[in-house]
Amino acid sequence: MSEDAARNYAESIINTVREPLIALDQDLRVVYVSRSFYEFFKVKPEETVGQLIYDLGNKQWNIPKLRELLETILPQKTTFDNYEVEHNFAVIGRRIMLLNARQIERVLGKERIILLAIEDITERKEIEAGLEKTRKDLEVIKKSADEVSEFSESVINTVREPLISLDKDLRVVTVSRSFYEFFKVKPEETVGQLIYDLGNKQWNIPKLRELLETILPQKTTFDNYEVEHNFAVIGRRIMLLNARQIE
Predicted TM-score (pTM) of this structure: 0.50
For residue 102, pLDDT beyond 80: yes
Mean pLDDT across the chain = 79
Task: Count CB atoms within 10 A of the CB of residue 21.
Answer: 21
Instruction: For residue 210, give the amino acid letter.
Output: E
Residue pair 116/21 in contact (Cβ under 8 Å)? The answer is: yes
Residue pair 43/60 in contact (Cβ under 8 Å)? The answer is: no
Domains defined for the chain, CATH in brackets: 3-125 (3.30.450.20), 151-244 (3.30.450.20)
DSSP output for 200-243: HHTT--HHHHHIIIIITTT-SEEEEEEEEEEETTTEEEEEEEEE
Write the CA distances from 147 to 144, 163, 216, integer angstroms. Answer: 5, 20, 28
Output 194 or 222, whichever has higher pLDDT: 194
- Per-residue pLDDT, 153: 62
